[in-house]
Structure 1
Amino acid sequence: MLGPQRIRDWVTNLPDSRIRFLRWQSILGYAVITFVISLALSGIFLFSRPEGFLRGHGSSNYFEYFWNQTADHPIDQLIRDAYADHQKLLSQQSFDLPVAAARYRARRGRHPPPGFEAWFRYAIEHDAIVVESFFDRIYADVAPFWGLEPRTTAERASTWDYVVRVRGGIATGVGNTAGKVPWLQLWTALVAEAAPWLPDVDMPINDMDESRVIVPWEDITSLVQRELSARFVAPVDEVITEYSGLAATDAKPDGFEPYRPQWHRGSYWDLARVGCPPDSPARNAAAIENFEERPVFPQEWNPTYSYEGYVRNFTAVMDPCLQPHLRGLHGTFIEPLSMSTSKELVPLFGGCKLSVNNEMLIPGAMYLTEDPIYSGGDTHGPSWSQKLDGIVWRGVASGGRNKKENWTHFQRHRLIEMLNGTAVSAMEANGAPLMTFEMPPIPKYDFPRRREGTVGAWLERFADAGFVDLLCFPADSNCTYIQPYFSKVAGVPMKDQYAYKFMPDVDGNSFSARFRGFLLSTSLPIKATIYAEWHDDRLMPWLHFAPMDNTFQDLYSILDYFTRDKRGDMSARFIADEGRSWGAKVLRREDMLLYVWRLLLEFARVCDEKREMLGFVDDLKRV
């Protein structure tokens, strides 16, 4: 809640002086009331954390205990920085339409799209937190399509195999879904909630786990430059406030053939690195041809996105262009289950993508299902003090097609072997690396258990991780190549996994569909991924979850920090509680709807022949 001075500063910094003049007197009139309410709510906030986080600590609540002490560990500083950054982000929240529209123009260089007023009204009525930067992903995804002819994009979108189609305010799913998972139906149902306020628009769906569009960096940069050069805030009296519609697109001539790009196969790494900047480390790193050798971990690794060995920039840690070693440490680049990739920009929407992919992100359909496999059901775990002091993971050995020649390079196999206390104890005793990893270097990750060689003994009582299905290839191999190292274990339902304090989350064939469930639990997610999702701009690493490098070399040290003493345990509990509390505010179905709604307003505009002049300007006309 803002005090009087911060409200005055906020108003003064608004980009539109007319809005500033209009709202100055009313804001000052409410300033004193706001300040009094803020004091009251602050008191309520301090004593209404999940499970009463600050109760029972007397005057030594988390902030007093933590912020007034020296940052003895790099993670201490990362948590402080994350908290400060998040507070700064919250100060940019918009509470009324003129401010939201002004911030849109300032950040996007255009008027908001037609329909923005209804979108914002729904957001306010449903208690959504509206921060303009939460939607940055939409504009990065849509930007290249401003470099294509609108009719071309519209026609290609309308003729895809699986489409969520909005016509006359009604959403329908188009495509043969027999025998397929119900993702198209789930996305259609979500869009249907916004359809009465949407223009006619088509949302073509990528039905594969893997992303499918990788346009070479030079081509995508050229398209984005066209968008940048075309940006302008049109004069109010010249703005068109209604979409043209898709009647011309729907009236296809006889003999019309849907457009299909050329689909490429082969090494996915070699396809992906073409999407990297020419001067990036990965651009000229050729794919690995022989995976029978053990994986190679980067030596003297000190990337700019880390802080003393721990992830500081989570966007960068997901970027394979910065990390050529990922070609041998992630199943996506080793042997994906399915691959059909276009080097041409075609409109597709999907639940996740790599930094080099060009799909438009929407919330993963698994986040829309009530299936407890993904959500954990109605329960979210016991209070922190009642949890088991340990880490748990269950899942299948996915990530691609693991087989005799390559399985040691897969990320999930690495995670399970790293959490196998018996195997780690043997490695500590003889010094030889295991099949999937090597111990992290002591100079970088120096902590007592590592120096004393007791990490394995600790894991034996602390970790419970295993595969419920080994997914060996070929199926008739009977998993003989992996049996000396792994065996199937009994499953543990998500709701029972929530009894543990720590829950690692790593990629499978693409993104992990359990991350939202983990965030909304009372446990602490420890996340590693190379896949971007719709919610990335609204989650803060080290405040809402603990980020991990994709090598997993920092895993042991992260766990050691959170378990070595009271301070670490308080930090883990704090992040778990903050993640759950924040997730309940910004990862709701309403928030997913608002994201897709706004994305479709923007995509409908980029498909419109009059797109340069389309916009919402009612807020300016009222001044």
Structure 2
Amino acid sequence: MGFPPRPTRCLRYILTALLLTLTLHFLTASDTIASWVWPLTGANKHPIDALIQAAEREFAAKLSKSTQTLAAAAAAYRKRRGRHPPPWFDKWYKFATEHGAIIVEDFWDQIYHDLEPFWGVQPAQIRKDARDFEMRIQIRDGKASTESDWWWTQIWLNMIQTIEHLLPDMDVALNPMDEPRMVVPWEDIEVYMKRAAKTRRTADVRSVVSDFSPLPPVGEASQEHHGDAQPIEWEHDEHYWPIARRGCPPDSPARLAEVITDFDKPPSIASPFSLAHMRNGYVANYTLSTDFCQQPDLQALEGIFVEPLSTSATKSLIPLFGGSKLFRNNDILLPSPIYWSEEDRFIGAEGASIPWASKHSSALWRGVATGGRNRETNWRAFQRHRFVAMNNASLLAQRADPPPNFALPDKRYALPAAAQADLPGWIARTTDVAFTEMVCLYEGFTPTCNYTAPYFAPVENVPMADMFQHKYLPDIDGNSFSGRYLGFLRSTSVPVKATLFREWHDARLVAWKHFVPMDPRFGDWWGILGYFLGRDREGTADKVGERIALAGREWAGRVLRKEDMAVYVLRLLLEYGRVMDDRREVMGWVEDLRQEL
């Protein structure tokens, strides 16, 4: 339950939104829009050029923080985390270096974002919630096991078994759903974080405990007393936006905006809420672009907010692990089973090495019409439907005003002359975007549906390996994250990533260096196409695309390997083992400091 917004905040929100809307309208309508899009300092200067240069600097700054010794890694940990490293940190470091991992403390930021609130929960409660969850992996005496035969659990078990000998006793609760599960109210998280802050200190070296407590054998009843522990309640509401937004600050646009319930009309695409993470029409802050708390219009533009495929959410903070989550979910991230299993349909390794010069100068996307439960009254609010429709030359040629579920390019984007003269023809020549199957709620789940038949004609699937024959590969969220992202990054094509989901590897990747980011509204898609596949800008655009493709491939080969996933999970579970231990505030690895003493 949230605090009621104060009238002054509501008024300020309304006035700000109105001002931004008027500003955006003026900029869009202005004949001098090109000068606002990018101040020219040269004949070929483009806003994407500046973003790429900034990305190069950001990536160099990340690499400059790499550590080469155990003592340096421990020092970087204490500086960034405010605590001693967990017990067995030396074992983690040895495992990481033996497997060729690059040690940059920033790479593990997601772990601490996920686990920090649990420092405000009693360890016994964490242990109970993990032990009682129906789907879990147990680790005892260096051996991992599970009673679940769900395929995701089996893959996660295989992952953990590669490091089981380095792990303390624990129970790991797992989310079997595509969708994330926890949305703890922002006000409650603030309480947990304040409690956690009181524990953040580097304990006196002489009092530090350097080992973990054992747990009772699997199946043996615990004798622990849990006080007034409340049962976990699960919500199954079809409309997810009211659930999701409770994780936002009370004065955020998402909490203040009116809840939309009518999706049976063309959505509003041009929004001032994107300006905070955009610069001159393109994504400049990728992390902020995934924070829906600042973008309440997304409640009518993303299937998960409208009606997810399945909803089972809770306000309780429990130690639940999963493969992806929205920015304000409280699930603990593991590498997805799809990434660990490396199935060819998601990785496409056979075609991943096609030389850039041998590829088609075009963008390709194939996929199923997922994103949630699309119906006759809500399909216009689904992101994949929007992206496919705006790349449909036949729909563009109809010149509907407004289009059924997307927005035509505005003057923020200086499209090439060919696109200005014949947008449908230009899109037909530069993109190949289509659904392979329509999954809709019409007489149950069916492969085709009457209400979208006028807009979409499913085509044959393209195997993942064949997708790499194209230079640009858009990656669009489905029911949750897109499982093809790792395969795209490992290829010689450029991933064009639009997402609201967070994954374990986000801190390792730099937008505009390793991939091209795209706003979740997709309005900048026109400009991205124009930059890379429009006028050639003396041949430089194609070279820029190749450089991003190869940089992403090379970097993925260094920090997104299965070995890197194991290194990440080992560190995550050592931290998790500490936070659930009653002695956690005096636990740590301090051998380097003891040697100094």
Check whether TM > 0.5. yes
Tell me which amino acid in the other structure corresponds to 2:236. Answer: R
Q: Is the 8 A contact 1:173 1:188 kept in 2?
A: yes
The residue that corresponds to 1:224 in the other structure is 193
1:114: Cα distance to partner? 0.5
> Which of 236, 243, 250 lines up with 1:265 in the alignment?
236
Matches within 5 A, 1:184-195: 184-195=153-164
Matches within 5 A, 1:321-336: 321-336=293-308
Q: After alignment, is 279-288 or 410-419 more displaced?
A: 279-288
The residue that corresponds to 2:205 in the other structure is 236
Q: Is the 8 A contact 1:420 1:459 kept in 2?
A: yes
The residue that corresponds to 2:315 in the other structure is 343
Q: Is the 8 A contact 1:113 1:615 kept in 2?
A: yes
> Which of 404, 427, 436 lines up with 2:376 in the alignment?
404
> Which of 173, 186, 192 lines up with 1:204 in the alignment?
173
The residue that corresponds to 1:148 in the other structure is 121
Tell me which amino acid in the other structure corresponds to 2:381. Answer: H
Structure 2 distance, partners of 1:81, 1:104, is 26
Note if 1:506 corresponds to 2:476: yes
Q: Deviations over 1:324-383 (max 9, x none)?
A: 010000000111110011011111000101111000011111001132111113330411
Secondary structure at the counterpart of residue 283 of structure 1: helix
Secondary structure at the counterpart of residue 163 of structure 2: helix
> Which of 568, 574, 582 lines up with 1:601 in the alignment?
574
> Which of 130, 142, 149 lines up with 1:157 in the alignment?
130
Structure 2 distance, partners of 1:260, 1:159, is 11
> Which of 68, 71, 80 lines up with 1:98 in the alignment?
71
The residue that corresponds to 2:18 in the other structure is none
Q: Deviations over 1:104-156 (max 9, x none)?
A: 01111111001110110111111111100110110010011111110110111
Q: After alignment, is 512-521 or 303-312 more displaced?
A: 303-312
The residue that corresponds to 1:439 in the other structure is 408
Secondary structure at the counterpart of residue 501 of structure 2: coil
Aligned in 2, Cα 1:317/1:302: closer, same or farther, shift over 3 Å?
Answer: closer
The residue that corresponds to 2:438 in the other structure is 470
Q: Deviations over 1:295-315 (max 9, x none)?
A: 112345652211111001111
Tell me which amino acid in the other structure corresponds to 2:393. Answer: G
1:287: Cα distance to partner? 2.5
Aligned in 2, Cα 1:260/1:588: closer, same or farther, shift over 3 Å?
Answer: farther
The residue that corresponds to 2:277 in the other structure is 305
1:618: Cα distance to partner? 1.0
Tell me which amino acid in the other structure corresponds to 1:142. Answer: L
Aligned in 2, Cα 1:184/1:235: closer, same or farther, shift over 3 Å?
Answer: same
Aligned in 2, Cα 1:235/1:202: closer, same or farther, shift over 3 Å?
Answer: same
Quote the RMSD (CA, aligned, Å). Answer: 2.0
Q: After alignment, is 472-481 or 271-280 more displaced?
A: 472-481
Note if 1:214 corresponds to 2:197: no
1:454: Cα distance to partner? 2.3
Structure 2 distance, partners of 1:299, 1:88, is 33
The residue that corresponds to 2:23 in the other structure is none
Structure 2 distance, partners of 1:621, 1:605, is 20
1:448: Cα distance to partner? 3.0
1:77: Cα distance to partner? 0.4
> Which of 502, 513, 530 lines up with 1:543 in the alignment?
513
Structure 1 distance, partners of 2:455, 2:386, is 11
Q: How many residues align?
A: 548
Q: After alignment, is 280-289 or 266-275 more displaced?
A: 280-289
Q: Is the 8 A contact 2:273 2:296 kept in 1?
A: no
Q: After alignment, is 399-408 or 155-164 more displaced?
A: 155-164
Aligned in 2, Cα 1:249/1:229: closer, same or farther, shift over 3 Å?
Answer: farther
Aligned in 2, Cα 1:595/1:395: closer, same or farther, shift over 3 Å?
Answer: same
Identity %: 42
Q: Is the 8 A contact 2:271 2:297 kept in 1?
A: no
Secondary structure at the counterpart of residue 511 of structure 1: coil
1:447: Cα distance to partner? 2.4
> Which of 22, 36, 50 lines up with 1:77 in the alignment?
50
Q: Deviations over 1:172-220 (max 9, x none)?
A: 1232x3xx4x111111111111110111112110001111100000100
Tell me which amino acid in the other structure corresponds to 2:111. Answer: I
Q: Is the 8 A contact 1:78 1:312 kept in 2?
A: yes
Q: After alignment, is 191-200 or 377-386 more displaced?
A: 377-386
Q: Deviations over 1:361-407 (max 9, x none)?
A: 11111001132111113330411110011111111000001111111
Q: Is the 8 A contact 1:155 1:249 kept in 2?
A: no
Normalised to the residue count of structure 2, the TM-score between the two structures is 0.89
Structure 1 distance, partners of 2:69, 2:313, is 43
The residue that corresponds to 1:49 in the other structure is none
> Which of 559, 570, 573 lines up with 2:546 in the alignment?
573
Q: After alignment, is 337-346 or 368-377 more displaced?
A: 368-377
Note if 1:461 corresponds to 2:429: yes
Q: Deviations over 1:461-506 (max 9, x none)?
A: 2211111110021245751111111121001000001100010001
Tell me which amino acid in the other structure corresponds to 2:75. Answer: A
Q: After alignment, is 285-294 or 327-336 more displaced?
A: 285-294
Secondary structure at the counterpart of residue 378 of structure 1: helix
Secondary structure at the counterpart of residue 503 of structure 1: strand
Tell me which amino acid in the other structure corresponds to 1:265. Answer: H
Structure 2 distance, partners of 1:556, 1:455, is 10
Tell me which amino acid in the other structure corresponds to 2:514. Answer: H
Note if 1:113 corresponds to 2:86: yes
1:255: Cα distance to partner? 13
Secondary structure at the counterpart of residue 139 of structure 2: strand
The residue that corresponds to 1:359 in the other structure is 331
Normalised to the residue count of structure 1, the TM-score between the two structures is 0.85
In structure 1, list runs of 5 or more residues that go unmatched. Answer: 1-67
In structure 2, list runs of 5 or more residues that go unmatched. Answer: 1-40
Tell me which amino acid in the other structure corresponds to 1:96. Answer: T
1:88: Cα distance to partner? 0.8
Secondary structure at the counterpart of residue 492 of structure 1: coil
1:422: Cα distance to partner? 2.4
